[in-house]
């Protein structure tokens, strides 16, 4: 690298560090004086690692892309199940138990439903359509209401046919190119949610709707944890010119912003145009939202249209990806734990038989399959750390003072890998959810941490749960999943390795996916032909 470039980058780094220290001094001083006045009982802050003046715990915070939930899990062993740190004046509280998460994020949700300002994600990367990141308030409520009308527990059954069609097509893709199963999984969920959200059928895996979603989510994986980019801690860096050395974050953000603009507008405007020209379109969430828009002369038209756009886009972006990780983990688990696979297949053979695929009507009669679904969610949580909830007001909890503006993160990974609740938590063991051949309601369900907390709980969880059940039961009814074989004919040992970051995925792996029998293969072919 040329010396001039190294020198320029070093100068930029020193400049930003100087800005951080100066602004940090002001933030810490202001924060200390205000919190001191607001804490008349002089309660202590929750325990945590001791920081430095001005910068606080800047050097203690783990790399957001390097499994921070594992680091925090180790901290809990030293400091207890509630850890408080400060970074450049921003206070963070990490919760390591279900009790703590329930007490604050559920029981006190009126105070812990806000979000911290996220300059990189919201203001630069254009994730304004995702209500998960919006501040708590009326604008968020309107988004939440619009979304919930189409995805609440009592309405998601209307999407059964789309889910069934796409998962059957997935089975056929596995038959043709089983080595591409990781890609087929992502394609299946993208196609499913495109049909639900927009009524658009996606045939080609290179479809721009799919690629745009993948690119948008790549950005979110990198920037979703606050603090990944310095601009999250020092919003003044929003105004740094993109050409300035060291301001590469703005170039990244501009690229992702354009991608998100396409995610929001392109499919929605396509459906709008089809309706405007009286062309036949498939009923969908978008057609329903458009049909309910007020007249263009109404002052609320543009706001309502924007909410409609955002609702469809967030359904698509959420449904296209988050469940993907769990299904990939399921494939890995089946290849690593053949005894669990055999138990699941025995139950399917007894209840469903070999002449048809399982459907939603079979679910209550398949407790072990439901246990496999639960364990797939628990074994590797898609979102190991919750999206940060922010305290709207000062609070007192268990003898500690929690300042207003504190960002609260629940470590769902710790909650679902607590050895006192789940024996051998790193092992994939569906039987832990069963008692006398039935689901045991006394066992902690992964739902308690997998979908968020309080008023911010994921409103798409019912659709996700249905998809997981159908794909798990369908795949195991007709396929055997085993480790791949090396050149010497020996099984390749698989390891449960997962990539860290905002969203967690299994590290890419290979496995053997083959029909259980010739009749199973014929069943796949026959059903796909019928669907066509």
pLDDT tens, residue by residue, 493-530: 999 999 877 888 999 999 999 999 999 999 999 987 76
Q: So what's the pLDDT on residue 287?
A: 97
Model confidence over 296-352: pLDDT tens digits? 999 999 999 999 999 999 998 887 667 899 999 999 999 999 999 999 999 999 999
Mean pLDDT over all residues of the chain?
90
Which has the minimum average pLDDT: 34-48, 82-96, 190-204, 499-513?
34-48
Measuring CA to CA, which residue among 204, 424, 463 is closest to residue 315? Answer: 463
Q: Which residues pair with 410 in a beta bridge?
A: 95
Percent of the chain at pLDDT > 90 equals 74
Q: So what's the pLDDT on residue 422?
A: 97
pTM metric for this prediction: 0.90
Instruction: List the alpha helices (DSSP H) in 277-409.
Output: 285-291, 301-319, 322-336, 338-351, 367-379
Q: 319, 189 in Cβ contact below 8 A?
A: yes
**Nearest-angstrom CA–CA distance, 530 and 20:** 63
Residue 5 has pLDDT above 70, yes or no: no
Neighbours of 486 (CB within 10 A): 10
**Nearest-angstrom CA–CA distance, 444 and 435:** 13
Longest dimension (CA), the chain: 75
147: which 2 tokens? Answer: 């979304």
Q: Please compute the mean of the pLDDT values over residues 409-414 and round it to a whole number.
A: 96
Q: What angle do CA 9, 12, 17 make, to 5 degrees?
A: 125
Q: Which residues contact 291 (CB under 8 A, 6 or more apart)?
A: none
Q: Which residues contact 396 (CB under 8 A, 6 or more apart)?
A: 41, 43, 402
Q: So what's the pLDDT on residue 17?
A: 45
Q: Is 441 exposed, middle or buried (0-12, 13-18, 19+ CB in 10 A)?
A: exposed
Measuring CA to CA, which residue among 252, 250, 430, 256 is closest to residue 333? Answer: 430
Q: 328, 185 in Cβ contact below 8 A?
A: yes
Torsions phi, psi of 168, nearest 5?
-65, -40
Q: Please compute the mean of the pLDDT values over residues 141-150 and round it to a whole number.
A: 96
Instruction: List the alpha helices (DSSP H) in 352-432.
Output: 367-379, 412-416
Model confidence over 356-373: pLDDT tens digits? 999 999 999 999 999 999
Q: Which residues pair with 511 in a beta bridge?
A: 483
Q: 97, 81 in Cβ contact below 8 A?
A: yes
| 3-class secondary structure, 485 | strand
| 3-class secondary structure, 493 | coil
Residue 6 has pLDDT above 70, yes or no: no
**Nearest-angstrom CA–CA distance, 114 and 447:** 21
pLDDT-based confidence at residue 198 (cuts at 50, 70, 90): very high
Which has the minimum average pLDDT: 134-148, 215-229, 327-341, 439-453?
215-229
Q: So what's the pLDDT on residue 528?
A: 75
């Amino acid at each position: 690298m040329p010396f001039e470039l190294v020198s320029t980058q070093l100068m930029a780094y020193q400049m930003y560090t100087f800005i951080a220290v100066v602004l940090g001094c002001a933030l810490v001083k202001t924060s200390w004086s205000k919190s001191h006045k607001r804490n008349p009982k002089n309660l202590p802050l929750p325990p945590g690692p001791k920081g430095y003046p001005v910068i606080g715990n800047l050097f203690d915070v783990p790399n957001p892309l390097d499994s921070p939930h594992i680091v925090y899990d180790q901290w809990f062993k030293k400091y207890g199940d509630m850890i408080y740190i400060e970074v450049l004046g921003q206070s963070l509280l990490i919760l390591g138990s279900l009790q703590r998460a329930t007490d604050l994020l559920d029981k006190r949700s009126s105070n812990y439903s806000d979000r911290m300002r996220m300059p990189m994600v919201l203001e630069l990367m254009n994730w304004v359509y995702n209500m998960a990141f919006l501040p708590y308030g009326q604008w968020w409520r309107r988004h939440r209401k619009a979304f919930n009308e189409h995805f609440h527990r009592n309405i998601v059954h209307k999407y059964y046919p789309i889910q069934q069609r796409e998962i059957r097509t997935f089975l056929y893709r596995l038959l043709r190119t089983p080595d591409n199963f990781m890609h087929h999984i992502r394609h299946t969920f993208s196609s499913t949610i495109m049909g639900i959200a927009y009524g658009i059928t996606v045939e080609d895996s290179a479809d721009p709707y799919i690629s745009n979603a993948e690119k948008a989510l790549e950005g979110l994986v990198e920037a979703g944890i606050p603090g990944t980019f310095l601009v999250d801690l020092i919003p003044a860096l929003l105004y740094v010119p993109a050409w300035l050395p060291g301001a590469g974050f703005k170039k990244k953000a501009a690229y992702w912003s354009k991608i998100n603009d396409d995610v929001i507008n392109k499919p929605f405007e396509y459906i709008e145009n089809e309706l405007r020209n009286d062309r036949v379109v498939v009923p969908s969430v978008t057609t329903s939202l458009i049909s309910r828009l007020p007249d263009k002369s109404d002052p609320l038209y543009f706001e309502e249209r924007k909410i409609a756009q955002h609702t469809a886009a967030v359904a698509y972006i959420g449904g296209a990806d988050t469940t993907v990780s769990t299904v990939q983990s399921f494939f890995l688990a089946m290849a690593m734990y053949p005894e669990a696979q055999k138990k699941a297949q025995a139950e399917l053979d007894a209840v469903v038989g070999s002449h048809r695929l399982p459907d939603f009507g079979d679910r209550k009669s398949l407790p072990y399959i439901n246990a496999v679904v639960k364990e797939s969610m628990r074994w590797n949580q898609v979102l190991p750390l919750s999206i940060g909830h922010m305290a709207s007001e000062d609070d007192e909890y268990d003898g500690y003072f929690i300042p207003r503006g504190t960002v609260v993160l629940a470590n769902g990974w710790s909650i679902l890998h607590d050895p006192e609740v789940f024996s051998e938590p790193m092992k994939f063991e569906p039987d832990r959810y069963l008692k006398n051949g039935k689901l045991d309601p006394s066992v902690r369900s992964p739902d308690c941490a997998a979908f968020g907390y309080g008023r911010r709980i994921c409103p798409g969880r019912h659709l996700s749960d249905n998809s997981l059940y159908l794909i798990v039961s369908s795949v195991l009814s007709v396929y055997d999943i085993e480790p791949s074989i090396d050149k010497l004919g020996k099984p390749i040992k698989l390891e449960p390795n997962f990539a860290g970051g905002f969203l967690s995925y299994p590290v890419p792996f290979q496995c053997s996916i083959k029909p259980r029998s010739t009749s199973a293969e014929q069943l796949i072919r026959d059903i796909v032909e019928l669907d066509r």
